[in-house]
Amino acid sequence: MIKSPILWRLYAGYVVVILISTTIVGLLVGRQVTSNEMQELQVSLTVRSEMLAELSRETLMLAETEQKLVKLQRTIEMLGQKSDSRLTVIRADGTVIADSRESPVNMDNHLNRPEIIGAGESGQATTTRFSQTVSQNMSYIAVRVDSTQGMLGFVRVSIPLQDIEQKTTQLWWLILLGAASSSLAALVLGFYFAKRFTDPLRNMTEIAGAISQGDYERRISVSHKDELGTLAAAFNRMARSSAERVLEITTERNRLAKILSSMAEGVIAIDSDRRIIHANHAAVKLLASNSRVSDLQSADLSKDDLAWEDIRVPAIIEAVETAFASGEVVMIQMQQAEIQNDQVVDIHVSPLMDETNTVTGAVLVLNDVSELANLERIRRDFVANASHELKTPITAIRGLTETMLDDPSMDGATRLRFVERISAQSMRLSVLVTDLLAISRLEADQTEQKSDPIDMQELVKRSVSAAIAASNEKQLALVFESNESNTDMKIMTLGDRQSLSQMVDNLLDNAVKYTPAGGRVDVQLTAVAEQICLQVADTGIGIDNLAQQRIFERFYRVDKARSRDLGGTGLGLSIVKNIVEQHGGSVQLESELGAGSTFTVVLPLAT
């Protein structure tokens, strides 16, 4: 409060006004009071002189005797003491006959005194001079005493100027004391009212500063009923309105930030100077192949985290410049080396316009379409592979049939051989169509998944029993092991029995097909930590590392020629993967070229 500049400026002006006003009023009052005092003194001297003239008239008019002079002297001495003034009676010839201060005998002739000369001329005269008799400055008033016979003499009344000056000084001190007291009271009251006036302004300033720092809960207490109170109430309304607006803006900004940060698409906003003002995590992740951008992995990035110079993709820079130049949306697609390997990104650059259609910035939306591109590639491969796989048996059946029709005289042995080949190709076509329908059903997932309790130990035993004939034919050792001491105990899971049985059959069929004669196929079923683990290991040809990455794709074969000879369709492992994933499990492959393969299926254990 003491350091309030507005308080001291206001109070300083008030002090100046008070001091100037008090000084002017004091001087005017002092001068007026002094003038009045002198006038009253003059009137008093005049009255005294007239009374003295009446008192002395008889003595001056009649013959003077010693007795009358003594009586007059005593009377004048007594009156001079009571009136605190000097009284003098003078004959017309200037001889002093009575005086209240001195003996008339010792006094000089006064006819040459200025006041006596003036009184003789005008009847009354006033003067101020040094008195030789009393040795001090005196103020005199002399009155001429007349009668019908002529001038009788003069009377004179005087008082010391020291008394007048003393009274005047006392009067000025009283005026000064009164002015000082009133000024002090006015200054104290002025300080109180100035502080009362400036305190609300100081509070407003303090609260305005707090609001500018983000504290929108501060309010001014309204205690005045004047304009300050109205201003304080308006300020409080403004603070509440500002708080509500800031809350709305903050909420909207946070909502927008959350939307942008949670978007799968990357969003980058730039201004007209190509400075990045916003970039979400998805955008940074998509551009992570750049040296600096790869280090930025925060959930929501600002312009301080990502600079335009960090984006070193020429296609993006060119698209932005094109959008700025044309003012239209630019769409491009980048692949592989421009971003990351095996990644395809669609980029839309939308320019931002102001009311004058001037480009003030741009928004880049990066959409990772790698999965869609991969699905499109798989679709094309699937159509091509399915067409090829279907075409082969159909062509064989058609060729054999046309040959038989064109040669009615074909001998029976040749015709039988052709019929057997037609039957084999039709069986191959039937297996292919069955597998296509199975994988289509699994991938479409349109039917409700069954959740029947299934004993995996019993299911695996059945599949192993069904595969024994094929393994014996190839002279393979097919061994089933379980970690349960009692093989009749149940290892239960929930799912579709037909699908799980097909999954086990496909694994066993692959193991038997691709294991040379004299090899071994081991099937192991265990239940550990609420999981069922099924392992099918063989000592077959094995799979190299490159092929392991695609082994579960549809129609993919490690050795296409040998697979066709063995009757494979290239859909078995794809069906296995789909069935396992639909049952909430996973499948893994461990293999080494020439050293066999191990497929591990993990399924949840029914509780």
- How many Å apart are CA 80 and CA 75, to the nearest integer? 9
Segment 459-473 shows an average pLDDT of 86
Q: Which of 564, 553, 317, 327 is nearest to 431 (CA)?
A: 564
| Cβ neighbours for 340, distance < 8 A, ≥ 6 positions apart | 286, 288, 289
Q: Is the pLDDT of residue 302 over 50?
A: no
Would you tell me how many other CB atoms lie within 10 Å of the CB of residue 364? 23
pLDDT value at residue 342: 62
CATH architecture of 373-443: Orthogonal Bundle (1.10)
Q: Extract the tokens encoding 161.
A: 């100027």
Helix (H, G, I), strand (E, B) or coil at 206: helix
Segment 358-379 shows an average pLDDT of 79
Q: Is the pLDDT of residue 177 over 70?
A: yes
Q: Is the pLDDT of residue 290 over 80?
A: no
Alpha helices in 272-369 (DSSP H): 281-286, 314-326
pLDDT value at residue 154: 92
Segment 41-57 shows an average pLDDT of 82
Of the two residues 369 and 558, the one the predictor is more confident about is 369
- How many Å apart are CA 378 and CA 386, to the nearest integer? 11
Give the best-scoring range by mean pLDDT among 228-237, 300-309, 354-363.
354-363
Identity of the amino acid at 504: V
pLDDT value at residue 223: 67
Segment 249-259 shows an average pLDDT of 81
Under 8 Å between Cβ of 26 and 179: yes
Q: Is the pLDDT of residue 450 over 70?
A: no
> What is the Rg, in whole angstroms, of the alpha carbon atoms belonging to the chain?
65
Compute the mean pLDDT over every residue in the chain, rounded to the nearest whole number: 77
pLDDT value at residue 295: 47
Q: Is the pLDDT of residue 259 over 70?
A: yes
pTM of the entire predicted model:
0.41
Q: Extract the tokens encoding 447.
A: 């039917």
CA distances from 466 to 9, 114, 469, 487 (A): 107, 167, 7, 18
pLDDT value at residue 563: 46
Weakest-pLDDT range from 144-148, 182-186, 252-256, 532-536:
182-186
pLDDT value at residue 593: 83
Domain 5-167 in CATH 3.40.1390.10? The answer is no
Of the two residues 583 and 165, the one the predictor is more confident about is 583
Segment 456-471 shows an average pLDDT of 86
Q: Extract the tokens encoding 394.
A: 């159909």
Under 8 Å between Cβ of 109 and 133: no
Weakest-pLDDT range from 58-67, 301-310, 506-515, 598-607:
301-310
- How many Å apart are CA 15 and CA 183, to the nearest integer? 9
Please report which confidence band the pLDDT of residue 48 belongs to, taking 50, 70 and 90 as the band edges. confident
Element at 363 (helix H, strand E): strand 359-368
pLDDT value at residue 299: 39
Please report which confidence band the pLDDT of residue 93 belongs to, taking 50, 70 and 90 as the band edges. confident
In degrees and rounded to multiples of 5, residue 90 shows phi and psi of -130, 135
Helix (H, G, I), strand (E, B) or coil at 518: coil
Q: Is the pLDDT of residue 353 over 50?
A: yes
CA distances from 595 to 80, 185, 470, 475, 548 (A): 156, 112, 21, 18, 14
What is the crossing angle of helices 66-83 and 5-61, to 10°? 170
Helix (H, G, I), strand (E, B) or coil at 543: coil
Helix (H, G, I), strand (E, B) or coil at 575: helix
Identity of the amino acid at 332: I
In degrees and rounded to multiples of 5, residue 145 shows phi and psi of -100, 120
pLDDT value at residue 43: 82
Please report which confidence band the pLDDT of residue 303 belongs to, taking 50, 70 and 90 as the band edges. very low
Q: Is the pLDDT of residue 512 over 60?
A: yes
Q: Buried b vs exposed e over 250-278: b needs ≥16 C-beta within 10 Å? A: eeeeeeeeeebeeeebbbbbbeeebebeb
CATH architecture of 263-368: 2-Layer Sandwich (3.30)
- How many Å apart are CA 337 and CA 248, to the nearest integer? 44
Q: Is the pLDDT of residue 292 over 50?
A: no
| Cβ neighbours for 442, distance < 8 A, ≥ 6 positions apart | 499, 575, 578, 579, 582
pLDDT value at residue 439: 64
Give the best-scoring range by mean pLDDT among 48-57, 290-299, 336-345, 477-486.
48-57
Weakest-pLDDT range from 203-217, 271-285, 433-447:
433-447
pLDDT value at residue 304: 46
pLDDT value at residue 296: 45
Segment 413-441 shows an average pLDDT of 74
The position carrying tokens 């599949």 is 463
- How many Å apart are CA 255 and CA 267, to the nearest integer? 15
Percent of the chain residues past pLDDT 90, beyond the cut: 0
Of the two residues 281 and 156, the one the predictor is more confident about is 156
Percent of the chain residues past pLDDT 70, beyond the cut: 81
- How many Å apart are CA 583 and CA 60, to the nearest integer? 156
pLDDT value at residue 401: 84
pLDDT value at residue 440: 66
Q: Is the pLDDT of residue 524 over 70?
A: yes
Half-sphere exposure of 372 (CA within 13 A, CB side): 7
CATH architecture of 450-604: 2-Layer Sandwich (3.30)
